[in-house]
Amino acid sequence: MDKYDDQHIKELLLKAETQHKGFELLVKQYSEQLYWQVRRIVMTHEDANDVLQNAFIKAWNGLETFHGDAKIFTWISRIAINESIDFVRRQKNLSIVSADDEDAHVANTLMADEYFDGNETEALLQEAIASLPEVQRTVFTLRYFDEMKYSEMSQRLKTSEGSLKASYHIAVKKISEFFKSHD
């Protein structure tokens, strides 16, 4: 449940003299929820923490892009999701450059991670998610774990509902095949 009234936060954000206070309330209101969205995409706590902080810095520097008629959470969530997708893309490029097949180690790395509490099957699910292309990976986590509606996801990712549905079904199919091949 929201701790602060969104309308009040909006009003504070739109005035230069109250912007800082408004932003602080926004962080208090949504940082935890955003953290989990980001964490499911980037997987490790350290990466999620970095990506989340960068997302808030971008939001602060781009406050002029926030329009009073938009939903605050939709706006900030879009920034955080884009930041997560960029991060995953950079990581993939780095692993291509270093010729390191990172995806193959995801399950083992997670099982050794002190901030991963899942079993082996859950670690394998994360490994299967990590093997997906960035956008499919994002669509899958938002739909599967957050059970986000396609209409809402469409606003965040600026993609049509039809292509989001297609992405999700392809992702589910790939992950199912991954598990079947491991059985």
Partner 1 sequence: MEEKYLIEKVGRENPFRVPEGYFDTLTSQIMAKVEAEGVEARDIKTGKEKRAKTVWLRPVLYAAASVCALFISVVAYQSYSDQGVAAPAQNVVANNQMMMDSYFDEAADYVMLDNQDIYACLSSDY
- Please, which residue, 27 or 70, has the CB nearer to partner 1? 27
Site membership for partner 1, residue 17 (CB under 8 A): no
CB 79 within 8 A of CB 27: no
Q: Binding residue for partner 1 (CB under 8 A) from 23, 70, 78, 133?
A: 23
Q: What are the contacts of 51-54 at 24+ separation with CB within 8 A? A: 51/80, 51/83, 51/84, 51/87, 52/80, 54/83
- Please state the closest distance from residue 164 (CB atom) to partner 1, in A: 14
| Distances in whole angstroms, Cα of residue 137 to Cα of each of 44, 63, 172 | 15, 28, 10
Residue with Cβ nearer partner 1 (89 or 115): 115
* CA atoms within 13 Å, Cβ hemisphere of 7: 0
Stretch that binds partner 1, among 73-81, 90-98, 99-107, 166-174 (CB under 8 A): 166-174
Alpha-carbon span 129 to 132, nearest angstrom: 5
Judge whether 76 and 23 are in contact, CB under 8 Å. Answer: no
Stated as kind and residue range, the H or E segment containing 83 is: helix 72-97
Q: For the window 144-163, what string marks contact with partner 1 as x by the rule CB under 8 A?
A: xx-x----------------
Closer CB to partner 1, 61 or 98, in the complex = 61
- Using rule CB under 8 A, residue 137 touches partner 1: no
Tokens of 120: 């082996």
Q: Which is nearer to partner 1, 54 or 159 (CB)?
A: 54
Say if residues 116 and 130 touch (Cβ distance below 8 Å).
Answer: no
**Size, binding site for partner 1 by CB under 8 A:** 38
Check: CB of residue 52 under 8 Å from CB of residue 40: no
Query: With CB under 8 A as the contact rule, which of the stretches 7-15, 52-60, 83-91, 153-161 interacts with partner 1?
Result: 52-60
Tell the smallest beta-carbon distance from residue 26 to partner 1 (Å): 10
Residues in contact with partner 1 by CB under 8 A are 23-24, 27-28, 31-32, 35-36, 39-40, 43, 45, 52-53, 56-57, 60-61, 114-119, 121-123, 125-126, 144-145, 147, 169, 172-173, 175-176, 179
